[in-house]
Chains A and B, each alone.
Chain A
Amino acid sequence: MNAPLPRAWDSLRQSRGKRLERAASLGLHGKNGKEIPADRIIDLLEAVIERGDRVCLEGNNQKQADFLAESLADCDPARINHLQMVQSVLALPSHVDLFERGLASRLDFSFSGPQGARLAKLVQQQRIEIGAIHTYLELFGRYFLDLTPNVALIAAQAADAQGNLYLGPNTEDTPAIVEATAFKGGIVIAQVNERLDQLPRVDVPADWVDFTVLAPKPNYIEPLFTRDPAQITEVQVLMAMMAIKGIYAEYGVTRLNHGIGFDTAAIELLLPTYAAELGLKGKICTHWALNPHPTLIPAIESGFVESVHCFGSEVGMDPYIAARSDVFFTGADGSMRSNRAFCQTAGLYACDMFIGSTLQMDLAGNSSTATLGRITGFGGAPNMGSDPHGRRHASPAWLKAGREAYGPQATRGRKLVVQMVETFREHMAPVFVEELDAWQLQHSMGAELPPIMIHGDDVSHIVTEEGIANLLLCRTPEEREQAIRGVAGFTPVGMARDKAMVENLRDRGIVRRPEDLGINPRQASRGLLAARSVKDLVRWSGGLYAPPSRFRNW
């Protein structure tokens, strides 16, 4: 038998060394705080990035390494090409420019938001190869398995003279990205908003960072989670009342995650008023995995909320968060530390309920926010909105839901996964449909799977203005279908219901109308909202919340 061929077992380290030498030969040493002048960033990127590299560009839900993204897009495609991009969110035009300009060819990501239409076009033109669309946790997981970055381009608030980084309240994805890159022979380049002699705290130690560059402008942060209470409708108030009385109260939901829409913002604003009147303070909504929604301020100030762990921060909320350190996770310096990976884990395993909205739902309860001509991805909703079979600890809400689903002898509980939708969206587009657009999208994109956000078998309840359908209690696919039709209002799907069967489901408490819950729709007034304007939220916060200019009318 021949001896095995000799091989190098440190090729990653050697490659890293060569890249750093190339940079050093250009005078880019990364000494003195690993500092690189902003006007030499393209030289640096072209020196350390190689053809075909896997590059993680920090595009979070909110915080964006925008200067590094634009700089990478301005690199010479003759020198850097066939990059395999891995990133949570495709948010900026420069993220798509990479593909249009021939620098990058493959993409693994989680969410694309505003760039969804451009992305779809690139796919149809076969100018981009999509590896897969993930949830955040899946993508982070793959950073540590088969999608480990060669180079990570990240965003931090500040660097000190050694190159330690302070991430600020928008920590978000940075820890997961840096950990995967720095400990597998990769190179970490950070854009920073400022250089400080003394950081408020060290979020990333200097020896995990190779280069820092002072960005010409502070990194962009999108205020994604600010919902103006002025835009909440009476119908949303009605649905929020039904959710609180018919689900939160009945299951005693204390640990939860909310989606980001106006439907759930309405619930947050009814906690200090309607829920308090029902005597639910201290009994529901005490522990949250949630971004710092401004609409949660009245509930926090009213003493409803004990703890909130955040995926990221929200523009204007930082002073309020710092002043409420009993509630939020903050460092010794006072500012918040968020962390998407840990918060998603909390949402998946430690929450008893997820409640959110969707654009379409079919008769099996599958839901999707994908529409034709747009690839939007998933973000965290599929993890939040799924029943984790690996959960082993019990809670009253989890057990009650489990017994409804599996019977009194159930050996496991069940997460509550609630979809809350008005039966029609704007322009009379029905939410309930026979077939999701996701299927057509799958065909037009040549994808292996339709982009289903939340699978029907994970959904426990559907709340519409017509009522609540409890899918846990359905025993056959026919019952599920009629329960969904039974709350689908005047959509074609709703009008095609079997009326007798829906009435039977109502007798069994599977379909419940507002009147079955003791709610008169005419009580659903905006007057019930604890805040009816952004200014009210500022007042509740004692002036600590400083909303972005676009949300002000003063």
Chain B
Amino acid sequence: MEKLEFKFPSQALLAAAPPALCGVVGSGNLEILVRSGVDRQICEISVNTSARGFGETWRAVLATFAASQAVGGTSIAINDMGATPAVVSLRLAQALADYRGGAQ
């Protein structure tokens, strides 16, 4: 297992909301927990992944997410069981939508 921690600058998400969970820690899958964070301009992401040695791939996938979406002020925790970047990106989009939905 590898533990990764990232902080990305991101446009502030307008409203804080109750935590949202998306996905399951199953083979080739992951779960993503989105909570409100501390700094309104920063998206904090921590990852526990079963696959070692893909830190740079994670950084690239998550940086793209944080740059393309307003997720400043969130703290995101991920438990991963070997999901591909395609699955990670899809789950991030779903988790963010669930979190935003909770804010309405």
Contacts and interface: CB of A to CB of B under 8 A. Distances in A.
Interface of A: 233-235, 238, 422-428, 464-466, 489-490, 495, 521-522, 524
Given A428-B54, A490-B60, A495-B60, A423 B85 contact: yes
B87 A233 contact: yes
Nearest to A239: B86
17 contacts: A233-B87, A424-B85, A425-B84, A426-B28, A426-B84, A427-B82, A428-B57, A428-B84, A465-B86, A465-B89, A465-B90, A466-B86, A490-B60, A490-B61, A521-B90, A522-B90, A522-B93
Nearest to A234: B90
A521 B93 contact: yes
Contacts, number: 49
A428 to B, nearest CB: 6
Which label, helix, strand, loop or mixed, suits the secondary structure of the B interface? helix
B14 interface: no
A527 to B, nearest CB: 13
B54 A238 contact: no
Nearest to A237: B90
Contacts of B84: 235, 422-426, 428
A490 B60 CA distance: 7
Contact of B57 (A422, A490, A524): A490
B90 A235 contact: yes
A309 to B, nearest CB: 34
A428 B51 contact: yes
B41 interface: no
Given A423-B84, A428-B84, A490-B85, A238 B57 contact: no
Contacts of A428: 51, 54, 57, 82, 84
Contacts of B93: 521-522
Contacts of A426: 28, 82, 84
B97 A235 contact: no
A423 B61 CA distance: 13
B44 to A, nearest CB: 21
A427 B51 CA distance: 8
A422 B86 contact: yes
B86 A524 contact: no
A5 B90 CA distance: 78
A233 to B, nearest CB: 7
Interface string B67-87: 000000000000000101111
A20 to B, nearest CB: 58
Interface string B28-47: 10000000000000000000
Nearest to B91: A234
A471 to B, nearest CB: 21
A233 B84 CA distance: 12
B54 A524 contact: no
Contacts of A238: 90
Nearest to B96: A522
A61 B60 CA distance: 42
A158 to B, nearest CB: 45
B11 interface: no
B86 to A, nearest CB: 4
Nearest to A425: B84
Contacts of A235: 84, 86-87, 90
A32 B49 CA distance: 69
B48 interface: no
A425 B84 CA distance: 8
A286 B52 CA distance: 47
Contacts of A521: 89-90, 93
Contacts of B61: 490
In this complex, which of A423, A424, A490, A495 has the most chain B Cβ atoms within 10 angstroms of its Cβ?
A490
B90 A489 contact: no
A426 B93 CA distance: 21
Given A424-B84, A427-B51, A428-B84, 16 more contacts: A233-B28, A234-B90, A235-B86, A238-B90, A422-B86, A423-B86, A424-B85, A428-B51, A428-B57, A465-B89, A466-B86, A489-B85, A521-B93, A522-B93, A522-B94, A524-B90
Most buried by B among A235, A238, A423, A425: A235
Contacts of B90: 234-235, 238, 465, 521-522, 524
Contacts of B57: 428, 490
> What 7 pairs across the A-B complex have the smallest Cβ distances?
A465-B86, A490-B85, A424-B84, A235-B86, A490-B60, A490-B57, A422-B86
Contacts of B94: 522
Contact of A424 (B60, B64, B86, B97): B86
A425 B82 CA distance: 11
Contacts of B54: 428
A519 to B, nearest CB: 12
A338 B61 CA distance: 47
A278 to B, nearest CB: 21
Given A238-B90, A423-B84, A428-B54, A522 B97 contact: yes
A123 B102 CA distance: 62
B89 to A, nearest CB: 8
